[in-house]
Structure 1
Amino acid sequence: MISKENAEHYKWGDNCDGWYLVNRQDMLIIHEKMPSGTSETRHFHSVSRQFFFVLQGELTMELEGEKHVIKAQQGLEIAPGLKHQARNDSGFPVEFLVISHPTPRGDRTDLTA
């Protein structure tokens, strides 16, 4: 059994948290928490397909220049090659799952402004 309480934890970005729920080469599932006003670097994956599912709060996803607001119990799929950036533009923390197939490790290209 795996849970947020016993999963391997890591910090990323500006005080964001992540927990590895499934950590395999063919699939990565992480539970992430982003405080208000935080964001990740805009990027894309050449091979990995991702699905973001919000557990609580509200996640803003910029996808190919279009802004999507994902609310609790909603999700958004990101196909390989699409440029995207997760942000928390709300005044509250957001928690969500990121499901990647295959793992995005070694398959991420960060973009500058």
Structure 2
Amino acid sequence: MKPINLLDKLNKFSTHWDPHIIADYNENEIMVAKFSGEFPFHLHEDTDDFFLVLQGEFTMDLKGESHVVKEGEVFVVPRGVSHRPRAVEECHVLLIEPKGTPNTGDPETASDKPRI
């Protein structure tokens, strides 16, 4: 048990849309990621999707609506809802998902989630 410095973790990688696991919480993975550009529309059938903006901002596109999520704000996408995050400029985000959840909703297209 020790504190986790989010800035230190974010400085360990430069890729976009690749969540990196920084801790476990109950049966969940706590991750950090960098967003830039557009992620494809996708959904998670069995779990909600949690986003906390640490730096910058991104837009969450849903069917028929979009929401700007700014630094210090949380956005939760309910399970089964198709969504796409996109960021004009690089944005740093903390994510929480149940262990083993593919970031694209599909294990075939999901990125690895390395532990840092």
With the length of structure 1 as denominator, give the TM-score of the two structures: 0.72
Shift of 1:26: 2.4
Q: Given residue 99 of structure 1, which amino acid in structure 2 is its aligned partner?
A: I
Structure 2 counterparts to residues 43-82 of structure 1, below 5 A: 43-82=42-81
Asked whether the equivalents of residues 57 and 71 of structure 2 are also in contact (C-alpha less than 8 Å), the reply is yes
Distance 2:72 2:32 in 1: 14
Q: What is the aligned partner in structure 2 of residue 108 from structure 1? A: 105
Asked whether the equivalents of residues 52 and 76 of structure 1 are also in contact (C-alpha less than 8 Å), the reply is yes
Task: Indicate the SS of the match to 2:45.
Answer: coil
Shift of 1:43: 0.3
Q: Given residue 98 of structure 1, which amino acid in structure 2 is its aligned partner?
A: L
Aligned length: 102
Distance 1:59 1:6 in 2: 20
- Report the aligned-residue RMSD: 2.9
Structure 2 counterparts to residues 1-16 of structure 1, below 5 A: 1=2, 2-4=4-6, 5=8, 15-16=15-16
Asked whether the equivalents of residues 42 and 104 of structure 2 are also in contact (C-alpha less than 8 Å), the reply is no
Task: Indicate the SS of the match to 1:43.
Answer: coil
Q: What is the aligned partner in structure 2 of residue 21 from structure 1? A: 22
Q: What is the aligned partner in structure 2 of residue 34 from structure 1? A: 35
Moved more, 99-108 or 74-83: 99-108
Q: Equivalent pairs: percent with the same residue?
A: 25
Moved more, 99-108 or 69-78: 99-108
With the length of structure 2 as denominator, give the TM-score of the two structures: 0.70
Change (3 A) 1:65 1:29: farther
Distance 1:65 1:10 in 2: 34
